[in-house]
Amino acid sequence: EVQLQQSGAELGKPGTSVKLSCKVSGYNIRSTYMHWVNQRPGKGLEWIGRIDPANGNTIYAEKFKSKATLTADTSSNTAYMQLSQLKSDDTAIYFCAIDTMGLFDYWGQGVMVTVSS
Amino acid sequence: DVVLTQTPPTLSATIGQSVSISCRSSQSLLDSDGDTYLNWLLQRPGQSPQLLIYSVSNLESGVPNRFSGSGSETDFTLKISGVEAEDLGVYYCMQATHAPYTFGAGTKLELK
């Protein structure tokens, strides 16, 4: 069974960084893209970017190019997203998702990031 | 960026009723490889999104066949043939043909 286990909730101060993890079991991340999506409180879904763990290639949505950094460790089958220079509007739930048969067919449980001083 | 316009924003239905959700794209989602990367997802309250339909009309494994998807190029529809209580939540269309991938604003399905 494919499962994506995300790290726990984060509380970050403005101007600092947080690093989120997404550990995959039941599927080799070398065989997929890892996507990251956010959802601000009460709002819809927004694609942040994706990484190809096999070679480290990344694509970001324009607005996240200086905000998010995606990495992956194939030895532990885990992907990471670092969010830098946190601001209040970075407060959101962040999801990871992978493609197996279809695109975005497995999702992590989501992690709440709260930015507050 | 591709804009996906979903209608209606809210849908009230009774159990057993059939309903449809429309998703219109600001540009064709037909990829150069011949596939059309338009998915439908359901997000139940407090849960992660769940893939229902991929590539317009392919039912994700384990998804009941009362869900169906259709359409092409810029116009797509999700149909639920006989709403059940477990179907309540927010439905999103999303496209993965053009980067950045984008989502519709969502359609909330609630009980009448």
On chain B, the residues whose CB falls within 8 A of the CB of A110 are: 48
Residue A80 has pLDDT above 90, yes or no: yes
Nearest by CB to B37, from A45, A103, A108: name it: A103
Q: Is B94 on the interface with A (CB under 8 A)?
A: yes
The partner residue sitting opposite B51, judged by closest CB among A49, A61, A104, is A104
Please tell me which residue, A102 or A16, carries the higher pLDDT value.
A16
* Element housing A100 (H / E): none
Q: How far apart are the first and last CA of chain A?
A: 40
Q: Which of B50, B34, B43 is nearest to A97 (CA)?
A: B50
Residue A48 has pLDDT above 90, yes or no: yes
Question: Nearest-CA neighbor of B109 among B59, B66, B71?
Answer: B66
Using CB atoms, which residue from B39, B92, B100 is nearest to A62? B100
Chain A residues with CB under 8 Å of B103 CB are 44-47
Q: What is the pLDDT of residue A102?
A: 78
- Residue B85: what pLDDT? 95
- Kindly report the average pLDDT of chain A as a whole number: 96
Q: Return all residues near A48 (Cβ < 8 A) that are at least 6 apart.
A: A35, A36, A37, A38, A60, A61, A64, A68, A81, A94
CA distance A90 to A67: 9
Q: What's the pLDDT score for residue A101?
A: 77
Burial class (CB in 10 A: 0-12, 13-18, 19+), A85: exposed
How many angstroms separate the first and last alpha carbons of chain B?
Answer: 35
Average pLDDT over residues A35-41: 97
- Separation in Å, CA A12 to CA A23, A88, A91, A111, B23: 22, 10, 9, 13, 37
pLDDT tens-digit series, residues B41-94: 999 999 999 999 999 999 999 999 999 999 999 999 999 999 999 999 999 999
Q: Tokens 């139940």 — which residue?
A: B44
Chain A residues with beta carbon closer than 8 angstroms to that of B101? 35, 47, 50, 61
66-85 of A, contacting B, C-beta below 8 A:
none
How far from B43 is each of A27, B49, B71, B106, B109, CA to CA, in Å?
A: 23, 4, 22, 9, 10
**H or E segment to which residue A40 belongs:** none
B4-7 and B102-103 as β-strands: parallel, antiparallel, unpaired? unpaired
**Which residues in B41-58 are b (16+ Cβ under 10 Å) and which e?**
bbbeeeebbbbbbbbbbe
pLDDT tens figures, B13-25: 999 999 999 999 9
Place of tokens 């059940």: B84
Of B39, B43, B100, the CB nearest to A61: B100
**Beta strands A10-12 and A111-115: pairing type?**
parallel
With beta carbons under 8 A apart, name residues in chain B contacting A102. Answer: 39, 51, 54-55, 58, 60
Is the CB of residue B57 less than 8 Å away from at least one CB of chain A?
no
